[in-house]
A and B are shown apart, each in its own frame.
Chain A
């Protein structure tokens, strides 16, 4: 189960995500991102409430980030819980997508 709360601004939107980013919730995540209005310059994906991920969830995250970048929208994954960041690190996701786009909670 995944809950996504959107806090909107003019050019920046933050998607506060909580629950599980996995095969059962990736469509919901993708849809949320696709529905974002045009004219944005930055999207923050707040992972504070994410408890679990799976390979489909991570694959979708990479795809979403690449899609947003193609639309010239800066994307940041913020407040990543340490355990989730460990998984990202095992897959070298920050290295692949740019360390500066990932912000881990200490």
Chain B
């Protein structure tokens, strides 16, 4: 029979085995220590009835920790208290067993000492906080539960932020209220204003109120930003420049990308057709034609042109947008004024700048060459410039003449400032270089070109792009500094050039022949025809051709070559890869 161990009320009784049975074992556990004959037992120990066995229980002391947490904005302080109760144990009773693991039973919970308001205030003072919420202090002091307690103890006074001045352009709200995206071809919106009509209201800036943080440091709000209504033509400011009203009737516009100028553009309205009874029109503001623009007539507008009828064998030039509610046939449309010319001139002018720079460099290198004599340059360096321009820089006069060709053939007026500046380039054409005295004269030309380049680039960058929208285009030339959108059946044998995108992507829109060039995306539904009509799309760096269907004989041209489709293709995408090569992605139709 095996031996056994019995525990009752903390007393351990061992019974030895009989008739070859096994001796019992005893081991300790958490919160107590078992001693056998005065030695602490760390694992199961065999005991006999003769052994002195003693069990000592442990006591866990209560634990209390209190900290202050401060928010990043230094406006809130929290007291964080961690409480852990202490405990006393007794030995758990155990019936007679061969193997005994002695356990404990908690008998008493000992709470940590109470936190006093004084202790909390002392801790706060140590952190530099002088005031605290009494209610919060009471809550902390009265708490008698175990675990973490986080209490907002003190708050600073947040600053009230300043309010920036705001301009509310009331006419813009009116415009968006009357817009009807469902049917853009319905009777057009009347966007004109009458004299005295309010166009914009400015709310004055409001200074915020200073606050104070937990430590008594003032928090000063950022001063508010002020803005001014900038009144252009046709606008008058009243009520201490806080209200803008129309000083004449017309169409209100907000011009400029960074600096917004409020203007009222005069509107010239033709109630019917532009025909012999009306004649050609040249107007600084908008032109609205309620009928057609008929054969051989010309409209020139400083701003937008809106034609509700067709444009047939006519020419339209707009500084702003051109919107044709019907079609354009055998006509020329130009939207964007100077920006269009600038965009055409800019690449030429950049090349001229680079060539003049290289010319000056070449002169310097030659003058320093030990086999090159300078005897003939005493009267002036003209001979050397002439020689270089006749030989190494033959391209320079050629490009200069192209610039003047573009400038002279352009039907949109070029600013006098540009024409005046460009005149100096004549010094580098024909036999004029031989009259140059020294390199400083050429350097001066280089600086003028650089300045003109900068001005032109700014003209392009800071002028809102002008867009053209028409229903259908046939045998026409369409130039826009912004987007060209054909909303109807498409474009037939027309030349389209856009600074932005070309969109001819109605579900049944086609481009049958012609020439397309865009600074952005040429987005067409169907390109070319099965009659092998000549259709060219020019793709430059940054522009992309996307077409659902492309017929054979359509050509994609780029600076580094061209590609002609030899079969019907679909889902076509053409673009210039980073290495400068033309890439055509397509699927077989």
Bin the interface of chain A by size. Answer: 20 to 34
Complex Cα gap A51–B366 (Å) = 15
Partner of A92, one of B369, B374, B377, B391: B391
* B372 (CB) vs chain A CBs: closest residue: A87
Is B391 in contact with A56, judged by CB distance below 8 angstroms?
Answer: no
Partner of A91, one of B370, B376, B377, B388: B388
Provided the pairs A87-B366, A90-B366, A91-B366 are in contact, do residues A53 and B391 lie with their beta carbons within 8 angstroms? no
Bin the interface of chain B by size. Answer: 20 to 34
Interface of chain B residues 387 through 406 with chain A (CB within 8 A): 387-388, 390-392, 394
> A interface, by DSSP: helix, strand, loop or mixed?
helix
Chain A 43-60 near chain B by CB (<8 Å), digits 1 or 0? 000000001111111110
Is A86 in contact with B392, judged by CB distance below 8 angstroms?
Answer: no
B508: Cβ under 8 A from any A Cβ: no
Complex Cα gap A92–B390 (Å) = 10
Complex Cα gap A55–B376 (Å) = 7
Complex Cα gap A86–B383 (Å) = 19
Complex Cα gap A51–B369 (Å) = 12
B392 contacts across to A, CB distance below 8 A: 90-92, 96
B276: Cβ under 8 A from any A Cβ: no
A24: Cβ under 8 A from any B Cβ: yes
Interface of chain B residues 451 through 487 with chain A (CB within 8 A): none
Chain A 66-104 near chain B by CB (<8 Å), digits 1 or 0? 000000000000000101101100111100100000000
B384: Cβ under 8 A from any A Cβ: yes
Partner of A86, one of B369, B373, B375, B387: B369
A105: Cβ under 8 A from any B Cβ: no
B183: Cβ under 8 A from any A Cβ: no
B409: Cβ under 8 A from any A Cβ: no
Provided the pairs A55-B384, A59-B383 are in contact, do residues A90 and B371 lie with their beta carbons within 8 angstroms? no
Is A93 in contact with B391, judged by CB distance below 8 angstroms?
Answer: yes
Provided the pairs A59-B383, A86-B369 are in contact, do residues A54 and B362 lie with their beta carbons within 8 angstroms? no
Is A62 in contact with B391, judged by CB distance below 8 angstroms?
Answer: yes
6 A-B residue pairings within 8 Å (CB atoms): A55-B376, A55-B384, A57-B373, A90-B362, A91-B366, A91-B392
Instruction: Report the 6 A-B pairs with minimum CB-CB distance, sorted nearest first.
Output: A23-B376, A92-B392, A83-B371, A54-B373, A56-B376, A55-B384
